[in-house]
Amino acid sequence: MEYKNVLTTCPYCGCGCNFYLQVLDGKLIGILPCKSHPVSQGKLCIKGLNAGDFVTSKDRLTKPLIKRNGKFTDISWDEALFLVAKKLKEYKESYGPDSIAVLSSAKCTNEENYLMMKFARAVLGTNNVDHCARLCHASTVVGLVQSFGSGAMTNSIRELEDADCILVIGSNTPEQHPLIARYILRAKEKGAKIIVADPRSITLVQFADYHLRHRPGTDVALFNGMMNVILNEGLEDKEFIKERTEGIEELKEVVKKYTPEYVEQITGVPKDILVDAARTYAKAERASIIYSMGITQHTTGVDNVRSSANLAMLTGNLGKPSTGVNPLRGQVNVQGACDMGALPNVYSGYQNVVDEKAREKFGNAWKVKLPEKPGLTIIEMMNEAAKGNIKAMYIMGENPMVSDPDISHVKEGLEKLEFLVVQDIFLTETAQLADVVLPGACYAEKEGTFTSTERLVQMVRKAIEPPGESKADWEIICSLAKAMGSKEFEYVSPAEIMDEIASFTLSYGGMSYDRLQKGGLAWPCPSKEHPGTPYLHKEKFSRANGKGKFFGIEFKEPAELPDEEYPFILSTGRIIFHFHTGTMTRRTELLNKEVPTGYVEIAHIDAARLGIGAGEFVSVQTRRGQIKTKALITERVPEGMIFIPFHFAECAANVLTNPAFDPVAKIPEYKVCAARIEKVKVS
Amino acid sequence: MIESIRDLARKWLESKEVDAIFGLKEQDGGVAPYLFTGRVNGISELGKLTTSTQYRRLCYTCRPSKDNILSLMQRREPNMKIGIVARGCEERALVELAKRGQIDLEKIKIMGIACSQEEAKECKCERPYPNNLVIGERVEGVSGDENINALLSKSLPERLAFWRHELSKCIKCYGCRDACPMCFCKDCKMEQKIFTETGSLPPEIPMFLFIRFYHISERCIGCGECEKACPVDIPLLTIFRQLRRDMKDLFDYEAGIAVEQESPLLTTLDESPMRKEVTSGV
Amino acid sequence: MAEFEPKILAFCCNWCSYAGADLAGVSRLQYPPNIRIIRVMCSGRVEPEFVVKALSLGADGVLILGCHIGDCHYIYGNHRTKKRMAILERILGYLGIDPARVRLEWVSASEGARFAEVVRQFTEEIKKLGPNPLKEVRA
By CB atoms closer than 10 A (0-12, 13-18, 19+), residue B194 is exposed
Contacts of C38 (CB under 8 A, 6+ apart): C9, C10, C11, C12
**What total of structural domains would you count in chain B?**
2
Q: Quickly list DSSP for A639-659.
A: TTEEEEES--GGG-GGGTSEE
Q: Do A182 and B233 touch (CB under 8 A)?
A: yes
Judgement on whether residues B159 and B271 belong to the same structural domain of the protein: yes
The DSSP element (H or E) to which A27 belongs, if any, is strand A27-33
Report the SS3 class of residue A7.
Answer: strand
Q: Which amino acid is at A345?
A: N
The reply to whether C51 falls in a domain is yes
Reported as a single tens digit per residue, the pLDDT across A483-493 is 999 999 999 99
d(CA A177, CA A173): 5
Mean pLDDT of C33-48: 96
Mean pLDDT of A278-304: 95
Judgement on whether residues B158 and B33 belong to the same structural domain of the protein: no
* Full residue range of the structural domain in which residue C41 is found: 8-107+116-138
A81-135+333-444+465-493 adopts what CATH topology?
Rossmann fold (3.40.50)
Instruction: Check CB contact of C68 with chain B, cutoff 8 Å.
Output: no
pLDDT of C117 above 60: yes
**What total of structural domains would you count in chain C?**
1
Mean pLDDT of A75-94: 96
Binning pLDDT at 50, 70 and 90, where does residue C139 land? Answer: very low
- Beta partners for residue A173, in sequence order: none
Share of chain A above pLDDT 90, in %: 95
- Cβ pair A17, A39 in contact under 8 A: yes
Q: Do B243 and C91 touch (CB under 8 A)?
A: yes
**φ, ψ at B43 (rounded to 5°):** -65, -20
d(CA A657, CA A406): 5
CA atoms within 13 A on the CB side of A75: 18
Tell me what pLDDT residue B272 has: 82
Q: Do A30 and B171 touch (CB under 8 A)?
A: no
d(CA A449, CA A465): 18
Judgement on whether residues B96 and B151 belong to the same structural domain of the protein: no
The reply to whether C68 falls in a domain is yes
The reply to whether C127 falls in a domain is yes
- Residue C72's nearest CA partner among C100, C42, C96, C33 is C42
Tell me what pLDDT residue A309 has: 96
Tell me what pLDDT residue B280 has: 44
- Residue B182's nearest CA partner among B61, B13, B72, B69 is B61
Give residue A273's Cα distance to chain centre.
31
Interchain contact C/A (3 or more Cβ pairs less than 8 Å): no
Reported as a single tens digit per residue, the pLDDT across A323-382 is 999 999 989 999 999 999 999 999 999 999 999 999 999 999 999 999 999 999 999 999
Q: Do B35 and A46 touch (CB under 8 A)?
A: no
Q: What is the mean pLDDT of chain C?
A: 93
The reply to whether C132 falls in a domain is yes
* Dihedral (Cα; A526, A531, A532, A535), 10-degree rounding: -130
**φ, ψ at A47 (rounded to 5°):** -70, -45
The reply to whether B141 falls in a domain is no
* Cross-chain CB nearest to A5 (options B34, B198, B228): B34
Tell me what pLDDT residue A371 has: 95
Judgement on whether residues B123 and B10 belong to the same structural domain of the protein: yes
d(CA B61, CA C62): 35
Domain boundaries of chain A, sorted by first residue: 81-135+333-444+465-493, 138-327, 568-679
Query: Angle between the B88-99 and B69-76 helix axes, to the nearest 10 degrees?
Result: 60
Per-residue pLDDT of chain B (282 residues; tens, 9 = 90+): 899 999 999 999 999 999 999 999 999 989 999 999 877 667 788 999 999 999 999 999 998 889 999 999 999 999 999 999 999 999 999 999 999 999 999 999 999 999 999 999 988 899 999 999 999 999 999 988 899 999 999 999 999 999 999 999 999 999 999 999 999 999 999 999 999 999 999 999 999 999 999 999 999 999 999 999 999 999 999 999 999 999 999 999 999 999 999 999 999 888 887 765 544 444
* Cross-chain CB nearest to A594 (options B22, B199, B231): B199
d(CA A261, CA A281): 19
Q: Say if the ipTM goes beyond 0.90.
A: yes
Indicate left, alpha or beta for B112 from its phi (over 0: left) and psi (-120 to 50: alpha): beta
- Beta partners for residue A196, in sequence order: A168, A211
Residues 75-134 of C with CB under 8 A from B: 75-76, 79-80, 82-84, 86-88, 90-91, 93-98, 133-134
Q: Quickly list DSSP for A265-278.
A: HHH---HHHHHHHH
- Beta partners for residue A28, in sequence order: A23
Instruction: Check CB contact of B98 with chain C, cutoff 8 Å.
Output: no
Judgement on whether residues B34 and B150 belong to the same structural domain of the protein: no
| Angle, vertex CA C67, rays to CA C63 and CA C69, nearest 5 | 115
pTM of the model as a whole: 0.93
Q: Quickly list DSSP for B103-165.
A: S-GGGEEEEEEPPPHHHHHHHT-S--S-SSEEES---PPP---HHHHHHHTS-HHHHHHHHHH
Tell me what pLDDT residue B281 has: 43
Indicate left, alpha or beta for B115 from its phi (over 0: left) and psi (-120 to 50: alpha): beta
* Cross-chain CB nearest to B160 (options C82, C87, C97): C97
Tell me the nearest-neighbour CA distance from A516 into chain B, angstroms: 9
Q: Which amino acid is at B167?
A: L
State the chains in contact with A (3 or more Cβ–Cβ pairs under 8 Å): B
Cis amide linkage into residue B64, ω under 30° from 0: yes
Tell me what pLDDT residue A483 has: 95
Q: CATH no. for residue C72?
A: 3.40.50
Torsion sign over Cα A517, A519, A522, A525: negative
pLDDT of A27 above 50: yes
* Full residue range of the structural domain in which residue B58 is found: 2-135
Residues 10-39 of C with CB under 8 A from B: none
For an interface test with A, give the residue of B72, B123, B193 to mutate (most A CBs within 10 A): B72
Q: Do B69 and A3 touch (CB under 8 A)?
A: yes
Q: Count CB-CB contacts under 10 A for residue B96.
A: 22
Instruction: Check CB contact of B78 with chain A, cutoff 8 Å.
Output: no
* Cross-chain CB nearest to B206 (options C52, C83, C98): C52
- Cβ pair A136, A293 in contact under 8 A: yes
SS (H, E, C) B32-83: EEEEECCCCCHHHHHHHEECCCCCCCCCCEECCCCEEHHHHHHHHCCCCCEE
A138-327 adopts what CATH topology?
Dimethylsulfoxide Reductase; domain 2 (3.40.228)
Shortest CA distance from B168: residue in chain C:
C137
Mean pLDDT of A262-271: 96
Contacts of A609 (CB under 8 A, 6+ apart): none
pLDDT of A465 above 80: yes
pLDDT of A430 above 90: yes
Of the options 2.40.40.20, 2.170.150.20, 3.10.690.10, 3.40.50.300, the CATH number for the domain spanning A568-679: 2.40.40.20
Binning pLDDT at 50, 70 and 90, where does residue A439 land? Answer: very high
Q: Do C83 and B275 touch (CB under 8 A)?
A: no
Tell me what pLDDT residue A683 has: 60
Chain C CB contacts of B207 below 8 Å: 49, 52-53, 56
